Structure 1
Amino acid sequence: MTETMTKSKADDPERSHLADVEDGCGCTEIWEHMSEARDEDDD
């Protein structure tokens, strides 16, 4: 089921940046994921 949900996130342009975040995670995990992605973009 998680794989299906991840695919739907990846297909949704407004949520595609969260496709690698596990379902059910909290705001801290989302913040860390977005921070890491931002750091990678800066390199």
Structure 2
Amino acid sequence: MTDAAECKPEPLEQETKERDDAHLDDIEEGAGCTEIWEHLAEKREE
């Protein structure tokens, strides 16, 4: 049996890729549809 300190698990595939919802990271929790729509529209303009 190997020592736990020697264990180097491979990162999960999801951890290595950008999350599908990463573009919503700067939206406040609890924001509604209107706030999300406005945020996405602003990002498109940039």
TM range (shorter): 0.5 to 0.7
Where in structure 1 are there 5+ consecutive unaligned residues? Answer: 1-10
Q: Quote the RMSD (CA, aligned, Å).
A: 1.6
Q: Offset of 1:12 from its aligned partner?
A: 5.4
Percentage of identical aligned residues: 53
In the superposition, relative to structure 1, how do residues 23 and 12 fare at CA in structure 2: closer, same or farther (>3 Å)? farther
Does structure 1 residue 14 correspond to structure 2 residue 3?
no
Q: Structure 2 length normalisation: TM-score?
A: 0.59
Residue matched to 1:4? none
Alignment of 1:25-40 (within 5 A): 25-40=31-46
Where in structure 2 are there 5+ consecutive unaligned residues? Answer: 1-16
Q: Structure 1 length normalisation: TM-score?
A: 0.63
